[in-house]
């Protein structure tokens, strides 16, 4: 998507502190952290919302990848996962970037 900041990060047009990357996703540090460790796991394919994900197994693979790389990501003491989703009639969840992403929060008691 042309104006999507996450697509630009994936394409290398915008610099980011990328910690992990594979064929399906990237994980990088959030520029406005809400915890000592605040990472974003973003699928490389552009999907604004969960219901638009073309492949049912993608989110499961993303969650498994996070869990399998918890040492690399600094998550050995536990972590919280959050997905914000804009609704049909409003944005009560506060999804700021319309590209599906998983917030990973850790590094302190939450």
Question: CATH number, domain at 38?
Answer: 3.30.428.10
Report how far residue 17's alpha carbon sits from residue 29's, in angstroms, rounded to the nearest whole number. Answer: 6
What is the span of the domain harbouring residue 28? 5-106
Q: What's the rounded Cα separation, in Å, for the pair 107 and 86?
A: 27
Active-site residue among 32, 38, 77, 101? 101
Q: Which helix (H) or strand (E) holds 99?
A: none
7 pLDDT band, cuts 50/70/90, is: very high
Please tell me the total count of domains within the chain.
1
Q: Could you tell me the pTM of the whole model?
A: 0.93
* Interval 31-48: pLDDT, tens: 999 999 999 999 999 999
The yes-or-no verdict on residue 21 having pLDDT over 80 is yes
Residue 19, H or E segment: strand 18-21
What does the alpha-carbon distance between residue 38 and residue 28 come to, in Å, rounded to a whole number? 9
pLDDT digits (tens, 9 = 90+) for 45-102: 999 999 888 777 999 999 999 999 999 999 999 999 999 999 888 888 889 999 999 9
Task: Based on the residue annotation, tell me whether 101 is a catalytic residue of this protein.
Answer: yes
pLDDT given for residue 1 in this prediction: 65
**What is residue 42's three-state secondary structure?**
strand
């Amino acid at each position: 998507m042309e104006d999507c900041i996450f697509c630009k990060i994936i394409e290398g047009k915008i610099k980011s502190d990328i910690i992990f990357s594979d064929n399906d996703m990237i994980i990088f540090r959030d520029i406005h952290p809400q915890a000592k460790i605040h990472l974003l796991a973003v699928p490389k394919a552009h999907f604004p919302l969960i219901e638009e994900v073309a492949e049912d197994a993608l989110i499961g693979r993303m969650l498994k990848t996070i869990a399998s790389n918890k040492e690399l990501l600094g998550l050995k003491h536990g972590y919280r996962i959050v997905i914000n989703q804009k609704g049909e009639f409003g944005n009560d969840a506060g999804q700021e970037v319309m590209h599906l992403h998983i917030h990973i929060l850790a590094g302190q008691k939450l």
